[in-house]
């Protein structure tokens, strides 16, 4: 903010390049005397992932982890495609979204858990009248500590989830 204000003030009164440098130095000294500090945005490591089911899932058991094994993005390597679990590498706020697709006549219920604690549900019902292929999505924002673990698990049982059309993604805010 400080830099933007300083730049606008200088442009307002500048008549040439030498004048620009003189005015910049003058305003910079005045601002420093007033206590303004030049702050820069800190670069931070990007933590983000996106994964899809690699095959159709059928008849999973209650509380079984849904493993999204087809990983298309895993910046920060926090998502494990073998276990289906995301482990927070640093403390912070994270956003997660998952989508499940099922076929006509079937249903699939899932639950997002953090360290095994239920947070959010997603139920896809393809058994409704006239249903074709159905999808359901859920999103959450969580405050996580370093090494907290998030995963998508089955809620009760599920008949079928379509691979490639079902996905799980997340990122640090």
143 has a pLDDT exceeding 80: yes
Q: What is the mean pLDDT of residues 4-17?
A: 50
CA–CA gap between residue 12 and residue 24 (Å, rounded): 11
CA–CA gap between residue 141 and residue 37 (Å, rounded): 33
> How many domains does one find in the chain?
2
Domain enclosing residue 87, as ranges = 48-172
Q: Are 100 and 142 within one domain?
A: yes
Tokens 């996106």 sit on residue: 50
Q: Are 29 and 64 within one domain?
A: no
- How far, in whole angstroms, is CA 169 from its chain's centroid? 6
Mean per-residue pLDDT over the chain, rounded: 84
Q: Are 28 and 77 within one domain?
A: no
25 has a pLDDT exceeding 80: no
Q: Are 28 and 96 within one domain?
A: no
Is position 42 within any domain? no
Q: What is the pLDDT of residue 6?
A: 46
DSSP string, 103-119: -TT-EEEEEEEETTEEE
Is position 14 within any domain? yes
Is position 148 within any domain? yes
> Could you read off the pLDDT of 57-83 as tens digits, one per residue?
888 889 999 999 999 999 999 999 999
Q: Which residues contact 51 (CB under 8 A, 6 or more apart)?
A: 68, 69, 70, 71, 72, 74, 79, 81, 167, 168, 169
Query: Would you place residue 11 in the very low, low, confident or very high pLDDT band (cuts 50, 70, 90)?
Result: very low
């Amino acid at each position: 903010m400080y830099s933007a204000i300083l730049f606008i003030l200088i442009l307002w009164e500048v008549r040439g390049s030498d004048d620009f440098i003189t005015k910049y130095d003058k305003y910079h000294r005045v601002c420093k005397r007033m206590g303004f500090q030049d702050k820069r945005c800190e670069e931070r490591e990007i933590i983000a992932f996106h994964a899809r089911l690699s095959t159709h899932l059928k008849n999973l058991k209650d509380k079984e982890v849904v493993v999204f094994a087809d990983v298309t993005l895993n910046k920060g390597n926090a998502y494990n495609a073998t276990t289906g679990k995301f482990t927070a590498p640093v403390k912070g706020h994270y956003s997660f979204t998952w989508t499940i697709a099922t076929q006509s006549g079937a249903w699939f219920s899932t639950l997002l858990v953090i360290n095994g604690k239920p947070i959010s549900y997603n139920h896809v019902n393809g058994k409704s009248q006239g249903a074709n292929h159905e999808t359901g999505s859920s999103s959450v924002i969580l405050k996580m500590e370093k090494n907290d673990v998030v995963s998508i698990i089955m809620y009760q049982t599920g008949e079928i989830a379509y691979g490639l059309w079902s996905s799980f993604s997340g990122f640090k805010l």
